[in-house]
A and B are shown apart, each in its own frame.
Chain A
């Protein structure tokens, strides 16, 4: 079992390296992290937070968009691509379980994502620490951001595999992936914000809103990192609600989503008839 998962991970790494996915993912994360740390370095001092914690707060806002996007881009092709290329029927006649195939792909894609995260966050953190050695006190926040980003990535990789299995064609899978990204990280928050404004402090804001935030893996990720960080005040908008939701709840959402997404992916993949 382990041997088959590892074999699949190795082959996926070969493919990702040749398709330049490793380079693209790392490049995206590094460039955006550097741009952010250059732009976001202005308001220190007034907030009483160290420079690294401020950087982590801006990286959190960036990662909410970028990590799901990169994960979906890496995963939408996983099943649909194999079906379209005609490599899937042969693979499914091998003595390998379907979930093992997905686990192998997940392992490889997670590895690439973690490399990209470490490179991007590392670059931004290095700049913060070089400019202000006291920023080292924010290293805990950076570590927290790194592992929660990895889990967020795993969640969207799983969702991407599920979409890929449902769509069966890469063009359809790409459309679904982009739609899902827009819906979950952009429109979802806008809709919630609009509802909160309209509700004006009523029962929606008190009861439904916190649950709606926790139900979305991207919001739970932002919530967890902002609640945990002393620089919570830096964030505006939805982040302002962070204080009212206990941290263990957003942690549960962060931990449960990857499991659920992978279950979803294997359920969808099991239904694929090549």
Chain B
């Protein structure tokens, strides 16, 4: 199936600051892709280029078969800006009705849409009285208008509480199931890993890693940690038996590479009479993320 969004060798320079260098990526219909990176990594810039708000210096971009910002592309793409803002004098209902009319949709559905994002009760209040999380929901509601082929969401869950986040990802799942391509950015890897099909890691404008979480975990080849609690008095025996074990407080910590994991476990298992408990700790998501985003040039 052809991709909804294809980018090749995209470069964007802001007066000497390389916001994006030679970035290539694609998003297929029905695919949920997370764009990760520290502040200033270039996530928002990339999204603005996709939407045609910022012109690329070089590179090829195809959005639903059209150039970014084309009338045709705009009618098929929904955007949620970072810190979505709206006119404070308007009510949520007026604002969403307006956006629906701009997309050629009947605005009688505005109330249902606001209900869907949990703003039904506040729909007739001015946006000026909304909290940040409520404004973010107005932003989400407008991104759900019509049947976008591509959703570009810049830090969509910032300002949302955990329950709203879960609801939000459920909305996304439904859209993806209908064939919409979704690109969302975040700087929290833990949040997006279970909810997206693929991760892209951007660091200082470069694409440093791409793949599913399992693939990234394998590529990073970060060490595995084991925390062993010895039966009273046996710590010394364990420290002696396992070469790179160290004592941390009351426990014994062992670190080994992925390849040595089974061998080390076998050594530990051989001393099972002396061990009260063992915990195997795989590299955390944040460790993997830091590994890729730091590896580049640091």
Q: Which residues of B contact A19 (CB under 8 A)?
A: 89
Q: Is the CB of B87 within 8 A of A15?
A: yes
Instruction: Indicate whether A89 reaches chain B with its CB closer than 8 angstroms.
Output: yes
CA distance A19 to B126 in the complex (A): 13
Q: Is the CB of B83 within 8 A of A86?
A: yes
CA distance A9 to B238 in the complex (A): 78
B95-130 interface (Cβ within 8 A of A): 95, 98-99, 101-104, 126
Q: Which of A11, A85, A95, A97 contacts B98 (CB 8 A)?
A: A11
Q: Is the CB of A95 within 8 A of B87?
A: no
Q: Is the CB of B79 within 8 A of A93?
A: yes
Q: A18-B89, A85-B85, A96-B102 are in contact. Are A273 and B79 (CB under 8 A)?
A: no
Q: Mark A1-39, 1 if CB is under 8 A from B, else 0.
A: 001101110110011001100000000000000000000
Nearest neighbor of B83 in chain A, beta-carbon distance: A86
B31-88 interface (Cβ within 8 A of A): 48, 51-55, 71, 74-75, 77, 79, 81, 83-87
Instruction: Indicate whether A195 reaches chain B with its CB closer than 8 angstroms.
Output: no
Instruction: Indicate whether B269 reaches chain A with its CB closer than 8 angstroms.
Output: no
Q: Is the interface of A mostly helix, strand, loop or mixed?
A: helix
Q: Is the CB of B74 within 8 A of A4?
A: no
Q: Which residues of A contact B94 (CB under 8 A)?
A: 11, 14
A86-128 interface (Cβ within 8 A of B): 86-87, 89-90, 92-97
Q: Which of B74, B81, B84, B139 contacts A95 (CB 8 A)?
A: B74
Q: Which residues of B contact A246 (CB under 8 A)?
A: none
Q: Which residues of A contact B86 (CB under 8 A)?
A: 87
Instruction: Indicate whether A140 reaches chain B with its CB closer than 8 angstroms.
Output: no
Q: Is the CB of B98 within 8 A of A87?
A: no
Q: A89-B53, A93-B51 are in contact. Are A10 and B71 (CB under 8 A)?
A: no
Which of B74, B95, B98 gathers most chain A CB within 10 Å?
B98
CA distance A19 to B89 in the complex (A): 8
Q: Is the CB of B102 within 8 A of A95?
A: yes
CA distance A3 to B98 in the complex (A): 10
Q: Is the CB of B83 within 8 A of A93?
A: no
Q: Which residues of A contact B99 (CB under 8 A)?
A: 94
Q: Is the CB of B87 within 8 A of A10?
A: no
Q: Which residues of B contact A89 (CB under 8 A)?
A: 48, 51, 53, 81
Q: Which of A3, A7, A10, A90 contacts B142 (CB 8 A)?
A: A90
Instruction: Indicate whether B271 reaches chain A with its CB closer than 8 angstroms.
Output: no
CA distance A97 to B70 in the complex (A): 10
Instruction: Indicate whether B90 reaches chain A with its CB closer than 8 angstroms.
Output: yes
Instruction: Indicate whether A274 reaches chain B with its CB closer than 8 angstroms.
Output: yes
Q: Is the CB of A4 within 8 A of B101?
A: yes
Q: Is the CB of A95 within 8 A of B89?
A: no
Nearest neighbor of A18 in chain B, beta-carbon distance: B89
Give min CB distance, A255 to chain B, whole Å.
Answer: 31
Q: Which of B48, B79, B102 contacts A4 (CB 8 A)?
A: B102
Q: Which residues of B pack against A, CB within 8 Å?
A: 48, 51-55, 71, 74-75, 77, 79, 81, 83-87, 89-90, 94-95, 98-99, 101-104, 126, 139, 142
Q: Which residues of A pack against B, CB within 8 Å?
A: 3-4, 6-8, 10-11, 14-15, 18-19, 85-87, 89-90, 92-97, 273-274
* 15 A–B contacts, CB within 8 A, in A order: A3-B104, A4-B102, A7-B102, A14-B89, A87-B85, A87-B87, A90-B79, A93-B53, A93-B79, A94-B103, A95-B71, A95-B74, A96-B102, A97-B71, A273-B54
